[in-house]
Structure 1
Amino acid sequence: MEKWATHEHTKRSEDSESEVVTAKNTSPASVKGSALPAPSSSRYPDGGVHAWLTVFGAFLALFCTFGQLNSFGTFQEWYSDHQLRTTPPSTIAWIGSIQLWIFFFSGGFIGHVFDVYGPRVMMMPGTILLVFSTMMTSLSTKFYQYILAQGVLFGIGVGMMFYPSLAAISSYFNRYRGTALGIAFAGSGVGGVVYPIMFRELFEKVGFGWAVRISGFISLAACCIAVATVSTNQSSSQKKTPILDITVLRDVPFLLLIAGSLLICLGLFIPFIYLAEYATDNHISANAALYVLSAMNAGGILGRLAPPLVSDVLGRFNVIVPSAFLMGLLAVVFWLFAKTLTTIIIFAVLYGFFSGAFIAMIIPCVAQISPDGKIGTRIGVLYSIVSFG
């Protein structure tokens, strides 16, 4: 006991000396009886002009990127009746699947670049690539052309806008991170409501080519504002991170989060791609079928706002787990029996809500269990792995 007491006394003395040395090199606000700054320190302002401008810019970026990804069911239904009418629907769906895979898989590299250089290095060329791919889609007529323009190039452009803008938000917010990211993710839900309706109206009035070009001009305006407003709160010392972070392999909570997300993403986007065509197969008009997709994304707006807001009080993992479970349960017990327009719309809204909650909550969960300066990289690693799902 005496040896133990002596050891403890020595250890406390060393700890006290360490705190004094740290205090000399750290601002008083960041040291309150500990060498480590509290999560609510000035490193995370949880507000301010630059923080909320970043949220605004991310909202616009997600509106025209992830919002269009959520609207691919519009193109799936249109291609089946027009340009690619001789191509099986399952083959046409490869355009949307490759688009999603490229977007997810690019996260590892893009997240690392964000941690080292900040958001604009990726977002500026991302804007150019996004607009270019959209214009090339408007000129395409063959299946392989749609794969290259709308699948590969558009998917890369979305990733270059998506990851930096959301990782930048995480650098400004801690306590209200879920709320801030939820507001930004709501942009994808708003885009998912607007784009299917806009495309359907413009396809009929101005034709496919100009309808897609108009969306390209909208993307150009929104992304330029996003590039101007999104910034990062990371210091240069936080940006020093290796491309391959082997500590990830020893982080069990992070590995479990990746595994769970991978399983969920095996079926997450199936309704977004097929629900409009599913509705037409149940004798619902093509116009009404596309409004079903908008209804799903409308539910996603609320799902991207309310659960993240609640998660800042109840806990991020306490919200994402039941949301993911209910999303899967809906597909099993509701979608299989939805045959009328009313029941399909109800399923669409509910599925949109819980899928939106999962999509919006995954990044706050990653940020919560990731060290500073590695949030962008870890977000990218997770998305790269779940891309195969």
Structure 2
Amino acid sequence: MSKEAQTDPSVIEDSTTSDLSLDPESYPEGGWEAWSVVLGAWCAMVPAMGLVNTIGVLHAWTSTHQLKDYSQFSIGWIFGCYAFFLYTAGAQAGPIFDAYGPNYIIIPGSIGIVAAIICLSFSEQYYQIFLSFSVLGGLSACTLFTPAVAAVGHWFKARRGFATGVACTAGGFGGAVFPLIILFAAPKIGFGWAIRIIALISAVLCFIACLLLKTRLPGNLKKGASIDFSALRDMKYASTTAAVFLVEFAVFIPYTYIASYGVHVGVQSTLSYLLIVFLNLGAIPGRFLPGLIADRVGRFNVMVLTSFICAILTLSLWLKSGDNLAAIICYSVFYGFWSGAAISLTPVCISQVCSTEDYGKRNGTTFTIASIGVLTGIPISGAIQQHDGGDFYGLIVFGGTLYLAAAIAFALARGICGGWSLKTVF
């Protein structure tokens, strides 16, 4: 290096900045490069999480059209399996992300999700809907969701809850827009063409995501199992995983059944479908505001609070709402808001009990375990409803009890990981 270069402050500053950009403990916490990754994550999650937030409308539509001759238990497996594949494939997607970055999974995932939506638009039989939506759609959604969340974690630490929450508002946005497309387009141009409009929107957003998503740290090529069960020896990680399992067990039950509940109690069908829109409109601020607060008062603390409030809302407001439309709408909006943390903050909680280099693998492992809950939660709820002769009382109690258990589990995990003092920010 020349003498001028050795003494030139700009050269020293550039070198220092470059070194810091590769330091696992130094995070940009903002700037165009970091926020462009958040935008890319948002674009990836609109189709991935937007579809899972649309399952209430899809459930209500298919159960009265294509699948009207099938039981609620059988139909529930279609939507439970979508959420299952959305989470369980993270065991493979996470390590690939850690080793090679997002492109190896985000590009095939983008192609897969668009293909799945197009196939769904032509599906009429049970097995066709199951294979297109549940299997291909769920697996493809995972390869969008997992790298999107993990990539944000490479660029933010102190503001990770807020940044992840902003990206996760995509689920609420997709969950509000997609049902509106089905609700207003399907009666005019048919269900198939309404779904193809969603496929076009998803294709554009996935293209943007492929351009913007990137990592900050070099690949972690450590060899090991794609499902890192050995990590469960760590009590902090194990207790966090147990809490995430319970909250994910509960979260999709109201998303799936609130529209069908509206139809059951006599709400006009258009308004019943709009309950999903109200729920997702509440979820948009519910994804980033809890994250903003959580960065200040503690991510685990906020998860305890939001899980407890969801339990109270379900066991009181929804359970007692009957056919009162105002009460049902209030529950939809409030539940949408307070349940948002179950999607946006759970991966941030995982990141607090593992190193950044292992974030993809640990995130994938936790959500693989949680996938058992989301797989069974929806059909179990359908079986309870079917056992009760179509009544929703037992289903609602089941969902509310799961949320109460999740609140207790997060409180225990918070004590194990951050200490038992009520003043601890964790």
User: CA–CA distance in 2 between the matches of 1:259 and 1:80?
Assistant: 33
2:145 is aligned with 1:190: no
Q: Between Structure 1 and Structure 2, whose CA radius of gyration is higher?
A: 1
In structure 2, the partner of 1:260 is 243
Residue 284 of structure 1 is aligned with which of 267, 280, 284?
A: 267
For 1:275, what is the secondary structure of its paired residue? helix
User: CA–CA distance in 2 between the matches of 1:363 and 1:30?
Assistant: 28
User: CA–CA distance in 1 between the matches of 2:31 and 2:230?
Assistant: 33
Residue 346 of structure 1 is aligned with which of 301, 310, 330?
A: 330
Shift of 1:327: 1.1
User: CA–CA distance in 1 between the matches of 2:152 and 2:222?
Assistant: 19
TM-score in terms of structure 2 length = 0.80
8 Å contact kept, 2:54–2:179: yes
2:61 is aligned with 1:117: no
| Residues 202-250 of structure 1, C-alpha deviations (whole Å, 9 max, x = no match) | 11111011111111111111001001001101124x4535235465132
In structure 2, the partner of 1:181 is 164
8 Å contact kept, 2:24–2:356: no
Q: How does 1:77-226 map to 2 (within 5 A)?
A: 77-226=60-209
2:250 is aligned with 1:250: no
1:57 partner letter:
G
TM-score in terms of structure 1 length = 0.87
1:361 partner letter:
L
In structure 1, the partner of 2:351 is 367
2:283 is aligned with 1:303: no
2:226 is aligned with 1:240: no
Shift of 1:264: 2.1
Unaligned runs of 5+ residues in structure 1 are 1-26, 32-36
Shift of 1:317: 1.0
User: CA–CA distance in 2 between the matches of 1:30 and 1:229?
Assistant: 20
Q: Percent identity?
A: 34
8 Å contact kept, 1:240–1:373: no
8 Å contact kept, 1:137–1:149: yes
8 Å contact kept, 1:50–1:231: no
Residues 1:350 and 1:371: Cα distance change in structure 2 (over 3 Å):
same
Residue 28 of structure 2 is aligned with which of 12, 37, 45?
A: 45
| Residues 19-71 of structure 1, C-alpha deviations (whole Å, 9 max, x = no match) | xxxxxxxx98999xxxxx794x2xx1112222111100111111121011111
Residues 1:337 and 1:277: Cα distance change in structure 2 (over 3 Å):
same
User: CA–CA distance in 1 between the matches of 2:168 and 2:16?
Assistant: 36
User: CA–CA distance in 2 between the matches of 1:129 and 1:344?
Assistant: 36
8 Å contact kept, 1:189–1:297: yes
| Residues 153-203 of structure 1, C-alpha deviations (whole Å, 9 max, x = no match) | 000010000000110000111111111101000111111111111111111
2:209 partner letter:
A
8 Å contact kept, 1:105–1:387: yes
Shift of 1:152: 0.6
User: CA–CA distance in 1 between the matches of 2:184 and 2:223?
Assistant: 47
Residues 1:46 and 1:376: Cα distance change in structure 2 (over 3 Å):
same
For 1:388, what is the secondary structure of its paired residue? helix
| Residues 283-323 of structure 1, C-alpha deviations (whole Å, 9 max, x = no match) | 10110011111111111111101110011111111111111
In structure 2, the partner of 1:294 is 277
8 Å contact kept, 1:84–1:143: yes
User: CA–CA distance in 1 between the matches of 2:252 and 2:274?
Assistant: 17
Residue 313 of structure 1 is aligned with which of 268, 274, 296?
A: 296
